[in-house]
Amino acid sequence: MSKFVETNYSNKKEILKFPDHYVALAVTVDDTGITTNGEGKKIVPAGTILGGGVLADSSKVAKKAKTTADKSDADGVLLNDTDVTYGPASGAM
């Protein structure tokens, strides 16, 4: 269940070199393992490498990618900061 909270941010982190030409996929960002910040919110920052098999199966939730010396499950990069304080939330990858 989602909860609506209004928050004012002073600026947006831009991770794209050419922000006019990109394709984003809608994903559900997982809240597992995300720690709270000083304001008590769980924020997954823009630029986080996401994995979890969301490209192969869009019904899966996107998680922080796991990378070892010889293997990675990375699927893409999170486009915007995503607030997962109240559970998994929609994001763009």
> Which tens digit of pLDDT belongs to each residue from 60-83?
999 988 888 999 999 999 999 999
Does residue 91 lie in a domain region?
yes
pTM here is 0.78
Going by DSSP bridges, is the β-strand pair 43-44/82-83 parallel, antiparallel, or unpaired? antiparallel
How many structural domains is the chain composed of? Answer: 1
86: pLDDT strictly greater than 80: yes
Does residue 59 lie in a domain region?
yes
10 Å CB burial of residue 29 (0-12, 13-18, 19+) is buried
Does residue 84 lie in a domain region?
yes
Residue 51 confidence (pLDDT): 92
Residue 9 confidence (pLDDT): 64
The band of 8, judged by pLDDT with boundaries at 50, 70 and 90, is: low
